[in-house]
Structure formats: C-alpha cells, structure tokens
Amino acid sequence: MKVLVTVKEIATVEDTFEIEGDRIPDRYLEFDLNEWDNYAVEEAVQLAEERDDVEVIAATIGPQRAEETIRIALAKGVDRAIRVWDDSLEEIELLDVSTKASIFAAIVEEEEPDIVFTGVQADDDAFGATGVALAASVGFQWAAIVNGFELEEDASMATVHRELEGGLEEITEVDIPAVFTIQTGINEPRYASLRGIRQAQQKEIDSKTLSDLGIEGIEHRLELTAMAEPETESDVTLFEGDATETAASLVDVFEDLGVIEG
Amino acid sequence: MSDVLAVAEARDGELRPVSHEIASATVELADTLGGAAHLAVIGPDATDLGGELNGPGVDTIHTVEHEAPFSHDAHRQAVVQLAEQLDPHVILAPQSVNGMDYAPAIATDIDAALVTDVIDLGDADANGLTVTREMYGSKVETTVAITGSPIVVTIRGGEWPPLEGTGEANVNSANVSFDSSTFGARVIGFEELTAGDVDIAEADVLVSVGRGIEDEDNLEIIHELADALGATVSASRPIVDSGWLPKNRQVGQSGKTVTPDLYIAIGISGAVQHVAGMKGAKTIIAINNDPNAPIFDLADYGVVDDLFDVVPALTEALS
Ligand SMILES: Cc1cc2nc3c(=O)[nH]c(=O)nc-3n(C[C@H](O)[C@H](O)[C@H](O)COP(=O)(O)OP(=O)(O)OC[C@H]3O[C@@H](n4cnc5c(N)ncnc54)[C@H](O)[C@@H]3O)c2cc1C
Ligand SMILES: Nc1ncnc2c1ncn2[C@@H]1O[C@H](COP(=O)(O)O)[C@@H](O)[C@H]1O
C-alpha cells in the first residue's frame, strides 16, 4: 500500500514586521513545517508501522529552502519525498488551490497512492481547501477535518471522525482510495530521533518541474493586490509598566467588575 | 452570468446562523452585479427550511430533499447541476466544516476559481470579483482579485449581518437527480462532546490558557491564578491537542462557546476559530507579549508582556 502525505513549509510572521507593497519581506518571516501537516505525517507513519508493506511518500510544492522542512518529515519516518518547483511558480505570490491540486493530482497519477493525507489547512494562506480539491481532481473519495481515522483490515474503507462545530463529531465511512484532511489533535506527533535525522540525510528528495509532471502552463486566476494590517476597531486599554504595576492595574479592573471585593 | 447562487447550511432540521448571513451576502453581491439572488438548501427538511430563508431581496430558493444528515456527494451533485441550470457568476458557500467538505469539489468540477474564508466582498463584474481575506493567523488582511467566471467563494461566519424580514422569493423544488452509485462517503452516526467534570460554559470567570504557556508543567501558574480568582480554567486548542487539559476545556469553533462575565486570555493569539467561541464574553482581558496578536482587537484590557512575569505577579497581588 502507498500513502501520500502533503507537507507544506509555511511562513509565520514575527511579532514586529512591516508590509512592503503587497507582501511581507522574508526578513520578517520564519519558516516551519505546517502544524496540520505534522499530524498528517504522524498519521501516515503510524499506518506504516501498523501494517506490512506501506510506503509513505511526502510531496511538497516549494522552493529549495523547503527541503529543510521535508527532511523533518523524512526524519519522522516518511520513506521518500517529491518536491515540485518551477520558475513559473516563483513569480506567483498567492498560489491558488486549483493549481496546487493539479500539481498534486499529477503526482497521484504517477504514484497511485491508496490514501492521501493532507493537513486541514496551511497556517499561512489558510485556504483549507487543497485536500478536497485534489480528491475531486483525481476522482478519489475524501473526508475533510478528520480527527479520528480507522482503516479496515482489507483497506477497502476507512471509518473516520469528522470534527464538526460545537463539540459534535460525525462518524463517516469513506471508500478507499481517498484523501483525508487531518485535524490537529488526531494523534501525538513524534519528535524526530537522532537516528531518524541521520537516516533522513540518505533519503531521496526528487525535485520536479511542472513539465516533468506533464503540466503545460498554469491558469493563474488569483492576484493578491493589497496587504495591510487590519484596521482595528479596538478600544483596548493597555496597561504599561513592570509586572507588579500591570498586575495592580488588572486587580483594579477585577474590583471594578466586581469579580473580587475591593 | 451575473447571478449569485448560495448554499445554506442546516443541521438537525434547523438552519445554522451562517445561512442567514450568507443570504445577506448573496443579496448584497447580486445587487452589485445587477443579477438575481438564488439560495439553495440541500438535505432533510429542505422544503420547510427553504421557506425560512425567504428574506428581502432573495429571488429564488431552490430546495433539494436528500435523506442523509449530511452528504458531500449530494451537495456536490446538487450544486453542480444547479450551476449548470442557472449559470451563476458566483457561488457562495459557508467556510464551515461541511462547507470545507464540499465547496472545493464543486469548484474543481465546474473549473471555477476558488477563494475561501472571505470576510468581505468588493468590486464585482461579469469577469471578476474582488474579496478580502486574512493571512498569517489574522495578522494581515489581503485584497484578492479573482478573474474569470464562475467563481466559488466561501465566506467566514459572523462577518455579515443575518438577512432579516420577509421577502417575495419563489421557493421551488429543484430539478436535481442524484447518481448515488458514485457516492463514496456515508455518515453513520454522531458523537457529542460531554461536559465531563466541569462545564466551562457555566463559569462566570474563565482563566484561559494558550500555546504561550509552552509546557505542561507551566500550567501550574494558570491554576494558581484561577484559584486566587475563584475562576475556572479553559484553554485554546493546542493545549487540548497536546493532552494537557481535557477536550471539555476547549473554547472555540470545535470546542465550547462561552459567554462569561470575564474572560482572561493568556498566551492566546486570538485565531478566528478560537474567537468564535469567546467573543460573547462581557469583558475580555488579554495577556500576550506580541502587540500585534489579533486578540488585542477584541480585548477590553490588555497587557503586552511576558505571561511568565505577569501571571505570577497577578496571583501575588490577589493574595
Ligand atoms: C477547523 C478548525 C477548528 C478549530 N477549532 C479551534 C477551537 O475550537 N479552539 C481553538 O482555540 N482553536 C481552534 N482551531 C485552531 C486555531 O486556528 C489556532 O491554531 C489556535 O486557536 C491557536 O491557539 P493559541 O492562540 O493558543 O496558539 P498560537 O496561535 O500559537 O498563539 C500563542 C500566543 O502566545 C503568545 N505568547 C507566546 N509566548 C508568550 C509569553 N511568554 N508571554 C505572553 N504571550 C506569549 C504569542 O505571542 C501568541 O500570540 C481550529 C482550527 C481549525 C482549522
Ligand atoms: N505548497 C504546498 N506544499 C505542500 N502541501 C501543501 C501546499 N499547499 C497546501 N498543501 C497541503 O494542503 C493542506 C491544506 O492547504 P490549504 O488548502 O492551502 O490551506 C496543507 O495542510 C498541506 O498538507
């Protein structure tokens, strides 16, 4: 059995940052493995540990720099990785979901996995859509926002928990092959062991361009035209000073609110 | 070509609040485009629920009865067929857990551009649409221009006012047929989170802790503060995901909605799914060392400082 897991290197902005034009320059960004994908990797690796003959492949769309993040997945037990990048992608500021889905679809057609795990969302762009769009592109079944996953012995079907709003969970049977978008909390992601990190150096990261995947040009339908810090309607009262002083101010608030007696 | 089609959301025989919000977004956008406002309701009781959506400015409500409590396959097939029949410029769906389960598939099927979790709709014409959405954990707002037609947009809950009043829409049973041979996901049951040892929704004062606490052992200072205040401890999702507190302590979209007199958010950034569960608190205090944390947009009082200094000092000041 083959399991494909999509792994994104996401950008987080530092506490203080500036916007230049319609973007935040790299010097204010930190790059890391997307939190949701960390859980997706763990789910894939656990499946490989529970069963014989499971190969886990990680796929990413990202520049050379993203290999650092892919190595984390490899160190946790992913067998090999595919990284897709292209000059034509370099120029695009906001990669739309259909482009990402068609790239992953080409990988799915090449690798023919039985199961694909993606994260629910990428922490930076937060579309929350790539997994389901991929499933529809390749004719797989799917379930979004999965926080419980159980595969039938014969791998024909999975029973999943989908985390709905307000503490309600839906229990759903999904035919395989399928894509599952993995929610945080579904498992306890491992830390990479030293041995894992050493082994990861030997594992293969296959870099591909769009034409390697048989994709001829992409239709670019989204344009990020402006970026700004949200205008706040906030009328927050901020207390300043050292911790003793701010604590005293908060105690005054508690008294005013009647939470404690003055 | 200039029409708008939106998909409502129902659960347990009732429309969810986002349905009335998406109805007003639809009327607003149809007005900008000079087109018609169509709404669709899919699922059990669709016929009854369709009538409830009949607000001012809505032109047609399409009801599609389907027996499953929720089926992304049924939603996908129904909306794709309605899109073929109505040729809308924009299809709106909620960015809810279920919206996220079918909207991307519809966009793929009809080869539409997809933009999700939109908080505002701007200029629109027959060949495009401009929307506002957030990035980087709500730290920035972006304007995104979408070109082409059709376009699928999912909207965030709580951003549009509910459509109120009675309108003159036609409520029709839609001409949709299902090919269930391609259905591959079946809902077999539901499980509800139980209150367990405490019900944080009942608490008057919540001391709520987030990822800023860094380590399970550090929770001690949070419990000490809660004890000093006679408050209950709640948390953001990462604390519960890590198993440091049980699920019944989680505030937010997939946890509990709370409306205490006082909510103290400590080391919580204020992600939209967290805010969904606590924005109804009467007074909000935030303690966070990042002055740009979105939680400060919501807070009444705040301290921009290290929680490991402020929290113990506060407990000390209370005793
Ligand atoms: C479908 C879905 C459902 C979700 N449901 C929920 C939900 O129900 N509830 C929920 O909470 N989240 C939910 N989330 C997750 C949500 O998107 C955020 O990831 C989460 O709320 C972040 O939690 P946080 O604020 O504790 O962590 P972070 O966003 O990591 O924020 C930590 C904060 O701590 C501050 N900090 C760090 N160190 C210190 C220090 N020493 N002193 C002071 N401050 C410090 C940082 O500045 C930062 O602002 C959901 C997500 C999805 C996709
Ligand atoms: N550039 C990318 N590289 C690898 N995986 C990605 C990429 N973009 C999205 N994904 C996957 O799709 C999931 C959802 O992303 P999104 O729809 O962009 O919020 C992520 O959790 C990843 O698993």
Q: Average the pLDDT over B286-306 and give the result.
A: 96
Residues of B (18-57) whose Cβ lies below 8 Å from A: none
Q: Are residues B170 and B236 in the same domain?
A: no
pLDDT for A155-174, tens place per residue? 999 999 999 999 999 999 99
Contact assignment for A259 to B97 by CB distance below 8 Å = no
CA A71 to chain CA mean position, Å: 15
**How far is it between the farthest Cα atoms of chain A?**
72
CA distances from B53 to B29, B50, B77 (A): 17, 5, 22
Q: pTM for the whole thing?
A: 0.97
Residues in Cβ contact with B315 at an 8 Å cutoff, skipping those fewer than 6 apart: B221, B224, B225, B228
Q: B60, B169 in Cβ contact below 8 A?
A: yes
| Shortest CA gap A237–chain B (Å) | 5
CA–CA separation, A255 and B283 (whole Å): 13
| pLDDT less than 70: residues of chain A | 262
Kindly report the CATH number assigned to the domain that includes residue B32: 3.40.50.620
Q: For residues B270 and B232, what is the distance between their CA atoms, to the nearest angstrom?
A: 19
Could you tell me the fold of the domain covering A2-213?
A: Rossmann fold (3.40.50)
User: What would the pLDDT profile of B96-144 be if each residue is shown by its tens digit?
Assistant: 999 999 999 999 999 999 999 999 999 999 999 999 999 999 999 999 9
Answer whether residue B191 is part of any domain: no
One-letter amino acid at B259 equals T
Q: Does B170 touch chain A (CB under 8 A)?
A: no
- pLDDT above 80 for B218: yes
pLDDT tens, A81-132?
Answer: 999 999 999 988 899 999 999 999 999 999 999 999 999 999 999 999 999 9
Q: In the numeric block, which tokens belong to residue B202?
A: 């009942």
B23 and B159 co-located in one domain: yes
In chain B, what percentage of residues exceed pLDDT 70? 100
Give the pLDDT confidence of B185-215 residue by residue, as tens digits: 999 999 987 767 789 999 999 999 999 999 9
Range B127-157 burial, b when 16+ CB lie within 10 A, else e: ebbbbbbbbbbbbbbbbbbbeebbbbbbbbb
How high does pLDDT run on average in chain A? 96
Q: Can you read off the two tokens belonging to residue A117?
A: 């795990």
Domain limit, last residue, from B155, B182, B209: B182
Q: B80 and B41 share a domain?
A: yes
Q: For residue B195, what pLDDT is reported? A: 66
Buried/exposed A92-110: b ≥16 CB within 10 Å, e otherwise = eebbbbbbbbbbbbbbbee
CB count within 10 Å of CB B289 equals 16
Q: Among B147, B182, B217, which residue terminates a domain? A: B182
Domain that holds residue B222: 200-318
Q: Which residues of A touch B154 (CB under 8 A)?
A: 129
**For chain B, what is the domain count?**
2
Q: Which residue of A has its CA nearest to B309?
A: A243
From the CB of B254, is ligand 1 less than 6 Å away? yes
Are B51 and B133 found together in one domain? yes
- Shared-domain flag, residues B214 and B244: yes
pLDDT confidence tier of residue B298, bands split at 50, 70 and 90 = very high
Q: Do both B40 and B151 map to the same domain?
A: yes
User: Which stretches of chain B are assigned E, i.e. beta strand?
Assistant: 4-7, 10-11, 14-15, 37-43, 60-65, 90-94, 113-125, 128-135, 140-147, 151-155, 170-173, 185-192, 205-209, 232-235, 262-266, 283-287, 301-303
| Cα(B141)–Cα(A213) distance, integer angstroms | 34
- pLDDT tier at B85, thresholds 50, 70, 90: very high
Which residues in chain A are closer than 8 Å to B296, comparing Cβ atoms? 232, 234, 236, 238
pLDDT of the residue at A120? 98
Same domain, B171 and B207: no
Ligand 1 contact via B309 beta carbon (within 6 Å): no
CATH number, domain at B228? 3.40.50.1220
Pair (B21, B76) in one structural domain: yes
Break chain A into its structural domains and give their ranges. Answer: 2-213, 232-262
| Phi then psi dihedrals of residue B169, to 5 deg | -70, 150
**Cβ proximity of B155 and B25 under 8 Å:** yes
Are B166 and B213 members of one domain?
Answer: no
Give the pLDDT of residue B130.
Answer: 98
Q: Both B220 and B269 in a single domain? A: yes
A 163-222 → B contacts, CB under 8 A: 163-175, 178, 181, 184-185, 188, 221-222
Set of chain A residues whose Cβ sits within 8 Å of the Cβ of B312: 243
Interface test with B, best of A99, A147, A164 (most B CBs within 10 A): A164
Nearest to B276 by CA among B248, B237, B247, B222: B237
Chain B CB contacts of A146 below 8 Å: none
Site to probe by mutation for ligand 1, drawn from B138, B218, B250, B274 as the one with most ligand atoms within 8 Å of Cβ, is B274
